[in-house]
Chain A
Amino acid sequence: MMLQSTIQSPRHANRITAKVLLSFLLLGLVGFLVVYPLYSLVLTSFQINEFGRDPLWGLAHWFKIFDQARIGRAINNTITLSLTRQVISIVLGVLIAWLIARSNLPGRKWMEVGFWIALFMPALPVTLGWVFLIAGRSGLLNKALYELPFVDGPVFNAYSWWGIVWVHLMTSTIAVKIFLLVPAFRALDSSLEEAARASGATLLGTVRSIVMPIMMPTILVVALIGFVRAMQAFEVELILGAPRNIDVYSTIIFRSMTQEPPQHGLASALSILFFISIVPLVLLQQWYSRKHHYASLSGKFQNRMQDLGIWRWPLSFMIWALLLMMTIVPFACLLLATFMKLFGMFDMAQPWTTDHWVNALSRGDLPRALWNSLRLGLLSAFTGMIGFTTIAYIATKTKFAGARALDFLTWMPTLIPGLVLSLGLLQMFTSVQMFRPIYGTIAVLILAILISTMTIGTQMIRGSLLQLGHELEEAGWAAGGSRYYTFRRVVLPLIAPSVAVIGLEIFATANSAVGMIALLGTGSTQPLSILQLVLLDSGKFETASVVGIVIMVLTVSSALLARTISTRAGLGRHNV
C-alpha cells in the first residue's frame, strides 16, 4: 500500500502532463514554421492587386507563368544543368568513395578530410575564385594559355553553361557524394568481395558484378538527393549566368523579387510550382531507399582493403589534384584578388595594393556584417543544438503520440528550396500583423537558418540517439533518475559530440548561406554572405573577395573543428 502511494505521487502525474504539453507545443511550433511560409506563398500567388493591400483574388499570376518564354528556358536550364552535374559527380563520387573506403589508396584518410573541407567551402567565394581564374579574357589561366602559339582566344569561360557546371562540381557537388557514399561503402562486408575473388572474378569484375549492384540502391538515392539539391541551387547561377542571361528557376524568382516593383504574386506562384515539382522527387527517393535496403547479412563484420597494385599512385595523384582545385586553388585566387588594384588585371604597372583590406576594415559595413554573421551563426547554432536535440529526443525516445508527425515535419525543409523559404518567410513576416515587430531583426534570419538545417540536424542527432539503445537510459531510470536527470547525466554526454558537430554545421551554414536569407538580410542585419552578393551585383569584385576570404576562413575553421570532434568521438558515420 505504502509503495503504491509513493509511486502515484502527484508530482509524477504533473510532470507527465507538462511533458506532453511541451511536446505538443513543439509540434505546433515546428509545424507552423515549416508550413506557414508555404501557406502564405499560396495566398500571395492568388492575390492580383498590390502586395500589402487588402487582397483581391484571381489567377492572373498563374497564367503569366505559362506565357513567358523566359520561364520555360529557365526550367529547361534548371533540369539540364542539374542532370549534367549529377551524372558527372555521381560517376566521380562513386569511384573516389570506393577508392577511399575500400582500397589501399595512399593518403585516403587525408583525402577524406580534404573532401570534408570541400563540402564546407562556401559557394559564392569559390565562384569568385574561379571567375578570377577562367573568366573570359581576364581569367588568369586563360591569359597563361594565350602564351601558347596555337591559342588565340579565351579557352575557358566561367560565365557560361559549362562554367556553371564546373564551379558547382568544384564546390560541394562531388564532395557531398563522397561524404554520403564513403560510410556506405565502408559498411559493405569485405568478405562479399573476397568471395567473388575466390570464385575467380578479377578486381574490376568484382567491383562490376558484386560491389556496384549491391551499392546501386544507395547510389541512386544519393543521386536523387543530389538532383534535388542541384535543382535548388541559386547563387552560382545568379553570378555566372547573368552576363549571358542563363537563368534557372531560383534566379527567376530572385529577379522578379528584386526588380521594381517586386512581383510578389508571380514569384509566389513560381515558388509553389517549384515546391510541387520537387515533392515527387523526394517521395521517389524515400520510397526507393525503403524498398531497396539490403540489410546487412553478416554476423562478423569485416573491412579489408583491396590492393590496387601500381595504379594506386596515379589514382592518388588525380584525386589530390581534384582536392587542390576544390580547396587551395579558389582560396589562393581569392586571396590574390584581394591584393590587386583591379580584379584580374596583371598588366598594370603597379597591380598590387592593400587598399581593399584597409578600406574594407575601415568602412562600416564589413565589421558590421562580420558582427551580424557571428551573431547569426552563434545564435542559430545555440538554438539549433537545443531545439534539434529536443525534437530528436521526443521523436525517438518517447511514446509521444505526435512523434511520427514531428519526424515527418523535420523532413519537410528538404522539399523547400532556400529561395522559396526566404520568400515565404518574407511574406509571412510582412503580412501577419503580430509578426511585424520581428521583421527586420536578426531573429528572422535565425529562423531561416534553423528551418533549412532542421533536417540534417535532427536526423543526425536522431541517428546517435538510436545507436544508444534503450537499456542505458532504462538503467538510469531504474537507478532512480528522473527523465530529465537521466537525459542530462546519461544521454547528453553520449550524444554531445554529435550535437557539437551539428552546432558547427549550423554555424558554417549561417555564414555561407545565400539563397535562404537572400530576401531577408538587408540593412542593419545584413550578414557577410549577403554583403558579398550585393558587392558582386554592383561589380565591386575586389571588396567582395575580401568578404569572401573572411567567409571562407570562418566556414573552413568550423569544418575542421567539427572534423576533429567527430574523429575524437569516433563518429564514423553521419546519418543523413
Chain B
Amino acid sequence: MDTASAKGRAVSAATGAEDVVLRFEKVSRLFGAFAAVQSLDLELHRGEVLTLLGPSGCGKTTTLRMAIGLERADAGRISYGAVTVDNPQSGVFIAPEQRQMGIVFQSYAIWPHMNVFENVAFPLRTRKTGEREIHEKVKAFLDIVGLAGFENRSGMHLSGGQQQRVAVARGLVGAPDVLLMDEPFSNLDAKLRDQMRVELKELQRRLGTSILFVTHDQTEALALSDRIAVMKSGQVEQIGAPLDLYMNPQTSFVRDFLGQTLQMKADIQCLNEDGSVQVVLANGQILLVSGQNHLITKRSSGPCLVTIRPEEIGIGDKSSSQSPNHVSARIRTLLFLGQHFEALVDFEGGDSFLIHLPRLFGWQEGQALSIHLPAEFLQIWDRD
C-alpha cells in the first residue's frame, strides 16, 4: 500500500468514531450578488443515501460540487470525516484530487480517447497503484456493474446505460467514503432509468458506500433515498425519510414539490373536543379533519386551505353521499392513461379537480360520483 491510499484510509479511520461522513456547516456560495447556497447545514451519515431534491437553481448541484471542491465555499465549513476540506475563514481548501471521493456526472464524462478499462483504472493510476491491483480491482468493479467483457470497448462506442455503468465503476473503484451523483439518470430513457435505479440501490446496499445524490425528479428521490433534503433558494426546506416527507410535509413548497395535492379553500368553524377540526368548504359542505393534521397555526377560526393526496380519495356511488366527509361530484372529462383513468371532476357548487379513477369500472363522462375525503388524510394549511 502506498502513501496516498494510506492517507485515504486515515481519513476513513478517523471518521469511525462518528457517524457523519460529510458535514456542511453554515456554508454559502455566491455567484456575484446571487446566493446559490445560503448558510446551509447538512450531514451525510455513514452508509446512507441522502438526496438533494429541488427545482433547477435551488443550489443542489452547487452543494454537491462544493463537497468535492469543484466549487469553493464563500463562507462556512465543509468537513469530510474529521478533516476540514473547505473553510474560507481559516483559508483551508483541499483540492478535489486530494479528497478521494467518487463522482458520477450527469453527462457521465466518459473520456472518449480511453477504453472502458482505462476509464475505470484512472483513479487507481493517479494513486500510483500497482498494475496487478489495478487489474483485479477494475475487473471486480466491471463485474459488479455488469460490464465484464467490455474492457477494450472504446469510450465512444457505449450506450447511455453502459456509459453510466462505467461512470459508476470509475466513481467507486477507489473505494471512496462518499459517492457523489449529479442527476445521473436524467439522460436515460424511462425504462432504463427504472432499471438503473434498482441496480444502484442494490449496489449501494452491497458496498455500503454513502451516496450524496442530486436530482430534480421526485420519484427518483423517493425511490432511492434513505433521507431526502428538499432544497429551495440555496437552503434546506425540510429533511427526512421519504415516507415522512411525503406524508407530513412541513411547508407548502415541500407539499407541492413532492407528489400532487388537491387544494380546497375552506373556513375553520371550530375545534372539536376530540381534537379534530371542523371546516366548511365554499359550497357549504362541512368536512372533519383529524387534529394532528392541523398543521401550522392551530387556529380555531378563519380562512384556510384543506389538502389531500389524490390517491387517498375514496370513490363511492351517489347513495353514500350523505355520510360525513363525502362530497358530490360529476365527471366532466375522462382520460384513459393505461394503468388508470384520470378524471376532471366538478365538486358540487365548488371547484374542479383532477383525480385518478381505477380502471376496473366503466366510467363515463357526466357520471355522478360521491367522493370520500377521509378525515385522517386531510390536512389544514394557512392560505399562502
Contact = CB atoms under 8 A, between A and B. Distances in A.
Interface of A: 189, 191-192, 194-202, 205, 209-210, 213-214, 216, 294-295, 297-302, 304
Given A191-B107, A198-B103, A199-B122, 8 more contacts: A189-B109, A192-B111, A196-B111, A198-B97, A198-B99, A209-B122, A294-B156, A297-B107
A201 B126 contact: yes
Contacts of A205: 97, 126
Given A195-B170, A197-B97, A302 B126 contact: no
Contacts of B174: 199-200
A298 B107 CA distance: 5
Interface in B193-213: none
A374 to B, nearest CB: 46
Contacts of B187: 299-300
Contacts of B186: 299-300
A382 to B, nearest CB: 43
A133 B205 CA distance: 72
B122 A201 contact: yes
A71 to B, nearest CB: 42
A195 B127 contact: no
B228 to A, nearest CB: 22
Interface centre among A197, A209, A304, by most B CB within 10 Å?
Answer: A197
A282 B181 CA distance: 45
A191 B96 CA distance: 13
A534 B201 CA distance: 78
A295 B68 CA distance: 28
A252 B167 CA distance: 58
Contact of A198 (B96, B106, B163): B96
Contact of B112 (A191, A294, A300): A294
Contact of B97 (A200, A210, A295, A300): A200
Interface of B: 4, 68, 70, 95-103, 105-114, 122-123, 126-127, 155-156, 163, 167, 170, 174, 180, 183, 186-187
Contacts of B113: 213-214, 216, 294
A288 to B, nearest CB: 15
A191 B163 CA distance: 14
Question: How would you classify the secondary structure of chain B's contact residues: helix, strand, loop or mixed?
Answer: loop
Contacts of B102: 198
A222 B187 CA distance: 33
Contacts of B95: 197, 202
B123 A199 contact: yes
26 contacts: A191-B109, A194-B103, A195-B103, A195-B105, A195-B109, A195-B167, A197-B95, A198-B96, A198-B99, A199-B97, A199-B123, A201-B126, A202-B95, A205-B97, A210-B111, A214-B111, A214-B113, A294-B112, A294-B113, A294-B156, A295-B112, A297-B156, A299-B186, A300-B107, A301-B107, A302-B107
B243 to A, nearest CB: 31
Nearest to B8: A200
Contacts of A304: 70
A200 B107 contact: no
Contacts of A216: 113
Nearest to B68: A198
Contacts of A197: 70, 95-97
B96 A297 contact: no
A197 B170 CA distance: 13
Given A200-B174, A297-B110, A194 B155 contact: no
Nearest to A192: B109
Contact of A200 (B111, B114, B127, B167): B127
B124 to A, nearest CB: 9
B295 to A, nearest CB: 37
Contacts of B103: 194-195, 198
B68 A200 contact: no
A147 to B, nearest CB: 47
Contacts of A295: 112, 156
A294 B114 CA distance: 11
Contacts of A199: 97, 122-123, 126, 170, 174
A189 B126 contact: no
A200 B127 CA distance: 7
Nearest to B106: A300
Interface centre among A192, A198, A216, A304, by most B CB within 10 Å?
Answer: A198
A295 B183 CA distance: 22
Contacts of B127: 200
B131 to A, nearest CB: 17
A210 B123 CA distance: 13
B156 A200 contact: no
A449 to B, nearest CB: 40
